[in-house]
């Protein structure tokens, strides 16, 4: 199984900060990586797919990059609505796994 390691596990930031979250795969997954945002008591929401494609309706302050084994999610200017937990998710050879999550907290 491919393991997905997210870092950091918790991040404290202020409104307006640029935030970067990293996801590393234990082996190459090409660009088959998605990012989700989850708020307490809610289902995850798709932000980015195929590593860098922005889902329709998602603000442009969210962006994704990377390929192979290292990927990043960047929020260019953190907004109050962005305080949440973020997960990466990979696909490889009929199996899917999620990263452990990154909680973005108010500093």
Partner 1 sequence: QVQLQESGPGLVKPSQTLSLTCTVSGGSISSGSYYWSWIRQPAGKGLEWIGRIYTSGSTNYNPSLKSRVTISVDTSKNQFSLKLSSVTAADTAVYYCARLAVALWYFDLWGRGTLVTVSS
As measured in angstroms, the least distance from the Cβ of 53 to partner 1 is 9
Specify whether the CB–CB gap between 25 and 31 falls below 8 A: no
As measured in angstroms, the least distance from the Cβ of 93 to partner 1 is 10
Per-residue binding string, partner 1, 17-36, x by CB under 8 A, is ---------------x-x-x
The upper half-sphere exposure of residue 57, i.e. CA atoms within 13 Å in the direction of its Cβ, equals 2
Per-residue binding string, partner 1, 44-83, x by CB under 8 A, is xxx--xx----x----------------------------
Mind giving me the DSSP string for 8-45? Answer: -SEEEE-TT--EEEEEEESS--TT-EEEEEE-TTS--E
- CA atoms of 92 and 28, how far apart (whole Å): 9
Binding residue (CB under 8 A) for partner 1 from 26, 52, 69, 97: 97
43 touches partner 1 (CB under 8 A): yes
Taken as a whole, the chain contains a residue count of 107
Q: Give the binding site for partner 1 (CB under 8 A).
A: 1, 32, 34, 36, 42-46, 49-50, 55, 87, 89, 91, 94-101
């Amino acid at each position: 199984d491919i393991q997905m390691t997210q870092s950091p596990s918790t991040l404290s930031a202020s409104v307006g900060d640029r935030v970067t979250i990293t996801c590393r795969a234990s082996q190459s997954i090409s660009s088959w990586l998605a990012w989700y945002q989850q708020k307490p008591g809610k289902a995850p929401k798709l932000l980015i797919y195929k590593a860098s494609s922005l889902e329709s309706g998602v603000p442009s302050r969210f962006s994704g990059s990377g390929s192979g084994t290292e990927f990043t999610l960047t929020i260019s200017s953190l907004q109050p609505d962005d305080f949440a937990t973020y997960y990466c998710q990979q696909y490889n050879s009929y199996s899917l796994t999620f990263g452990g999550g990154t909680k973005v907290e108010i500093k």
